[in-house]
Structure 1
Amino acid sequence: MSDSNKTINPATEEALETYPLMSRQEAEGIIEQTHDAFLSWRKTTFSERAGILRKTAALIRERQDDYAALMTREMGKTLTEGKQECELCAAVCEYSAEHGPKELADETRELPGGQALVSYQPQGVIYGIQPWNFPLYQVIRYSAANLMAGNTVLLKHAANVWGMALEVEKLYRDAGLPENAFRTLLIGHDVSDAVIEHKLVRGVTLTGSPNAGRAVAQRAGKVLKKTVLELGSNDAYLVLADADVQKAAEACVLGRTNNAGQTCVAAKRFIVVDSVYDEFRDAFLAGMKKLAVGDPTRSDTQMGPMARSDLRDGLHEQVRKSFDAGVTCTLGGEIPEGKGYFYPATVLENVAPGQPAYDDELFGPVAALIRVKDDAEAMRVANDSIYGLGGGIFSANEDEALRLARDEFDTGMININGYNLALPNLPFGGVKQSGYGREHGGFGMREFVNVKAVMVAQS
């Protein structure tokens, strides 16, 4: 591998910055510094930690224009989406600050002949391996929770967003976090493997592909370290016979094209009951055709480019293989000419098992429409996936939709009659090959703590 890394603007294909890679020796030195910082940070009060997270939230809001512009330059997100991401990050910090003290407080339990205490103690250095699609949020999501818990944090960010990787380190330092309590590692996969195995690293959290999750989990498992994995998905959105079809189509267009479709919890498979299929398809197509695709710095642009040329090429190969296996392309499906890694809003029909559009995750603005005979078949097809991160149900019968979501939908997160990404107060994570562990909602603060039982006998 080269000893440097170059970032590229995906809308213009212009080179942005070149970053030298850290050596294994440099990375190990930073790990030791981050561990030393932990020895002090763990002794801080919840109030002190919360104060720094609140300051972090304030700085994110102050700097949102700069951060959004950086995201646009590095990975093509529109400026509007970048500002929305900043607001979510600020809210995550504030939620962690407000609710952390209660989530992490000592508990008393019964003990025959005495008393017992359950304490949530920090463990040490937590290593996060994060993707490019939400360059600020992916980092804040795990780091705020772990800093609140008293751990210190390392980051290996995706190579195409290293500008943001360094900005997050500066953000926390400017907010008052002690030096080395959060550090960014500009490293390749070989050095990352050594970081996972380092004796001072106590846990590893990854957001990425299932293949990346397997590799990281296996390496961490060899040295008996806990992992949290948020992996891919092929989220199903069910449009049932009694759905408000126009409302469903509007939400599904947003769910498929937000962030140019490069979202783990994007709506990807649209499973539509036969009686409303044609009406939904027509409304969905109309919405997809109206999307303003182009320069992500323009205020009227709704969808920018994909983040890298290899990602666009991989998506197009999945679409091509789906063509070969029998899908019909109703919209899009061709790489446009000109500069930038753009891919059009694409709609595929006649989608069936054995096609990438049915079986795999299409990480881009490609929608798979699946016609089913009734509500029962819709639920069966939704669960016919190796993944289980998110999903959705559109139905006028809210009680029945809630029952299906609670009792039958085999995923970690489900929307009913709408589309939401992540919310600070609700758990985020999946099942099956979408990974394990939870973030947000207080759950992330307890993933990498020592749940310690202390038993005191009466004297």
Structure 2
Amino acid sequence: MPIATVNPATGETLKTFDALGEEAVRERLALADAAFAQYRTTSFDHRAELLGNAADLLEADQEAVARTVTTEMGKTLAQARAEAAKCVKAMRWYARHAEHLLADEQPAPDDVADSGAVRAFVRYRPVGPVLAVMPWNFPLWQVIRFASPALMAGNVGLLKHASNVPQTALYLEELFRRAGFPAGVFQTLLVGSGAIEGILRDRRVAAATLTGSELAGRSVASIAGDEIKKTVLELGGSDPYLVLPSADVERAARTAVTARTQNAGQSCIAAKRFIVHEAVYEAFAEAFVAGMRALRVGDPMAADTDVGPLSSESARSDLEELVDDALHRGASALCGGRRPPDQAAGWFYEPTVLAGVDRGMRIHHEEAFGPVATVYRVADLDEAITLANDTSFGLSSNAWTRKEDEQQRLIRDLVAGGVFFNGMTASHPALPFGGAKRSGYGRELAGHGIREFCNITTVWYGPPNG
């Protein structure tokens, strides 16, 4: 795949970039290694000052960088602005909290004495340069939620971004440089996916984090495993959205529209499978379909657009194949199911709701990365849970019920990295984020995320005089 900015709303190639050669990559790895040797010894106060500078700069750049994001990957300008603002919030959160999150841990005094020590504690130390292989769908947020904790822990970052967002990737390197971070602490590597193995196998690269497809995750995990290097993977999702009889059905349907179509549905944590109790199925389906039909599809730069284009022509083709397979096998489209007839250029697809989906259809098992929802009717909570877990993914889940006993049952039985009640899944810097099953392993954000790329070190002192 060429490294290029191609406007998804028009299909026009706006700018192309040459990939870094092997010698240039080696030079950047050497710079990262040298930067880590110095940066790891800096104080939390100094790192927090630099990260705060970056937050201030991004806040000032919000409009310009949002336009770059929209141009490169197609999300609406309003959503791009919101993504930039979320990044600012995360940087400031880690600048405030990192020192506390990585403070020395003190075992109970009795346990210290029982170990034979006069003093013992646990210290979190940085591991070194971390390779971040990041996707295009949230091209600012995915990077910042890695970089903020990693840099505050004393690590340095090497960004291999998706090849269709090169200008955003270069902006991020420049952002950290302008903020005052030393040369080499955060670098963008404009390379194709074929270069990842060589970078990850380099002795100077300590670990890797990847957000992307299951196929990409398998590749990075296998290479890192061969090299005995730590990885964190956030992969695909096919999140269930359960609506039970005690729910506020109108609000659940209204939220469902946003949960499925934000970022044109191109989100791993988007609700994708809507599992509705038969007692409220008709009311929910009617309101949900009406909400999906009302969405305006079009120019992502326009203020009145709700859903922009998909990121690429191949992304739309993949989505069309899933929908066509379902329709051919007996599913019905309650709305959508086609390209918008008034959008001749660009990679647009109508918001779609499919009913009558069963296990024989690809869309039941595969992730639909676009504004396509599947709705299922179930008879009771047991059937809802069974269907919710009938997937190889386990990133997050949503459930609408006001009954405490049902909520506790869902917390116990849904196999996912998150259970969100009476709302939609969203990430926040104070809450850990990650999945189960083939959605990956490890956690980002919160204290769990900042400790993923730390050497968790036991420090033990024996009696000084024997």
SS in 2 for 1:135: coil
1:393 maps to 399
2:262 is the counterpart of 1:258: yes
Q: Distance in 2 between matches of 1:64 and 1:405?
A: 39
Shift of 1:326: 2.0
Q: How far, CA to CA, are the matches of 1:311 and 1:446 in structure 2?
A: 34
1:106 Cα offset (Å) = 1.6
Q: Answer yes or no: is the 8 Å Cα contact 1:261–1:366 preserved in 2.
A: yes
Matched, 1:161 2:159: no
Partners of 2:405 and 2:93 in 1: CA distance: 31
Q: Per-residue deviation at 1:325?
A: 2.3
Distance 1:113 1:223 in 2: 35
The answer on whether the counterparts of 1:393 and 1:401 sit within 8 Å (CA) in structure 2 is: no
Q: Distance in 2 between matches of 1:256 and 1:303?
A: 11
In structure 2, do the counterparts of structure 1 residues 274 and 22 end up closer, same or farther at CA, with 3 Å as the change threshold? same
CA contact (8 A) 2:289 2:335 kept: yes
Q: For 1:33-112, what aligned pairs fall within 5 Å after superposition?
A: 33-109=31-107, 110=112, 111-112=115-116
Aligned to 1:382: 388
1:408 and 2:406 equivalent? no
Match of residue 342, structure 1, among 329, 340, 348: 348
* SS in structure 2 at match of 1:98: helix
In the TM superposition, what are the counterparts of 1:10-21 in structure 2 within 5 Å?
10-21=8-19
Corresponding position of 1:355: 361
Of the candidates 243, 249, 260, which is equivalent to residue 247 of structure 2?
Answer: 243
Report whether the alignment pairs 1:452 with 2:450.
Answer: no
Counterparts of 1:275 and 1:405 in 2: how far apart (Å)?
19
Whether 1:429 and 2:450 are equivalent positions in the alignment is no
Written as runs of structure 1 = structure 2, the 5 A alignment for 1:300-311 is: 300-311=304-315
3-state DSSP class of the match of 1:341?
coil
Q: Following TM superposition, by how much is the alpha carbon of 1:450 offset from its aligned partner in structure 2, in angstroms? A: 0.4
* Distance in 2, Cα, partners of 1:246 & 1:342: 28
> Contact conserved, 2:322 with 2:362, CA < 8 A, in 1?
yes
**Equivalent position amino acid for 2:414 in 1:** F
Deviation at 1:129? Answer: 0.2
Per-residue CA deviations over 1:39-78 (Å, capped at 9, x if unaligned) read: 1100100111111111111111111101110111001111
Q: Are 2:4 and 2:166, in contact at CA under 8 Å, matched by a contact in 1?
A: no
1:414, distance to aligned residue in structure 2 (A):
1.8
2:126 counterpart residue number:
122
Once residues 357 and 243 of structure 1 are traced to their aligned partners in structure 2, the CA distance between those partners, rounded to angstroms, is 26
Residue 187 of structure 2 corresponds to 183
Residues 60 and 376 from structure 1, CA distance in 2 versus in 1: closer, same or farther, beyond 3 angstroms? same
CA distances 1:439-458 after superposition (whole Å, capped 9, x unpaired)? 11121110011001111101
Q: Distance in 2 between matches of 1:172 and 1:401?
A: 46
Distance 1:104 1:113, change over 3 A: closer
Give the TM-score of the pair, scaled to structure 2: 0.96
Distance 1:82 1:316 in 2: 25
Deviation at 1:354, TM superposition (A): 2.4
Out of 331, 334, 347, the residue aligned to residue 330 of structure 1 is: 334
Indicate yes or no: 2:205 matched with 1:201. yes
Q: Distance in 1 between matches of 2:125 and 2:329?
A: 53
AA in 2 matched with 1:280: F
Question: What amino acid is the match of 2:188?
Answer: T
Q: Does the CA-based 8 Å contact 1:152-1:182 persist in structure 2?
A: yes
2:236 is paired with a residue whose SS is coil
Rounded Cα–Cα distance in structure 2 between residues aligned with 1:191 and 1:418:
40
Relative distance call for 1:213 and 1:113 in structure 2 (3 A) is closer
User: Contact 1:34–1:125 (CA<8 Å) still a contact in 2?
Assistant: yes
Instruction: Give, in angstroms, the shift of residue 189 of structure 1.
Output: 1.8
CA contact (8 A) 2:4 2:165 kept: no
Task: State how far apart, in whole Å, the 2-side matches of 1:316 and 1:113 are.
Answer: 64
Tell me the secondary structure at the aligned position of residue 203 of structure 2: coil
How far does residue 150 in structure 1 lie from its aligned partner after superposition? 0.2
- How far apart, CA to CA, are the structure 2 residues paired with 1:317 and 1:222? 35
Q: Given the alignment of the two structures, is residue 216 of structure 1 paired with residue 220 of structure 2, yes or no?
A: yes
Q: What is the CA–CA distance in structure 2 between the aligned matches of 1:74 and 1:405, rounded to whole Å?
A: 39
**Is 1:321 aligned to 2:325, yes or no?**
yes
| Aligned partner of residue 210 in structure 2, secondary structure | strand
Higher mean C-alpha deviation, range 116-125 or range 335-344: 335-344
Separation in structure 1 between the aligned mates of residue 100 and residue 286 of structure 2, nearest angstrom: 49
User: Aligned residue for 1:133?
Assistant: 137
C-alpha contact 1:391 1:415 (8 A) present in aligned 2: yes
Deviation at 1:400? 2.8
Judged with a 3 Å threshold, the aligned counterparts in structure 2 of structure 1 residues 441 and 301 are, in CA distance, closer, same or farther, namely: same
| Cα drift, residue 6 of structure 1 | 2.4
| Displacement after TM superposition at 1:383 (Å) | 1.0
Contact 2:139 2:165 in 1 (8 A): yes
Aligned residue number for residue 289 of structure 1: 293
**Partner of residue 445, structure 2:** 440
Cα deviation digits, residues 385-412 of structure 1 (max 9, x gap): 1110011001122x23431342111111
The separation in 2 between residues aligned to 1:67 and 1:188, in whole angstroms, is: 23
Distance in 2 between the 1:29 and 1:176 partners? Answer: 21
Offset of residue 351 of structure 1: 1.1
The aligned amino acid for 1:332 is G
Q: 2:275 aligns with which of 268, 271, 277?
A: 271
What is the CA–CA distance in structure 1 between the aligned matches of 2:74 and 2:168, rounded to whole Å?
Answer: 13
Distance 2:414 2:378 in 1: 16
Report SS of the residue matched to 1:141: helix
CA contact (8 A) 2:125 2:153 kept: yes
Question: Mean alpha-carbon deviation: is it higher for 20-29 or for 275-284?
Answer: 20-29
One-letter code aligned to 1:85: E
1:323-344, Cα deviation, whole Å (9 max, x unpaired): 2222111111112350010010
Rounded Cα–Cα distance in structure 1 between residues aligned with 2:432 and 2:37: 29
Q: Aligned partners of 2:355, 2:363: CA distance in 1, in Å? A: 9
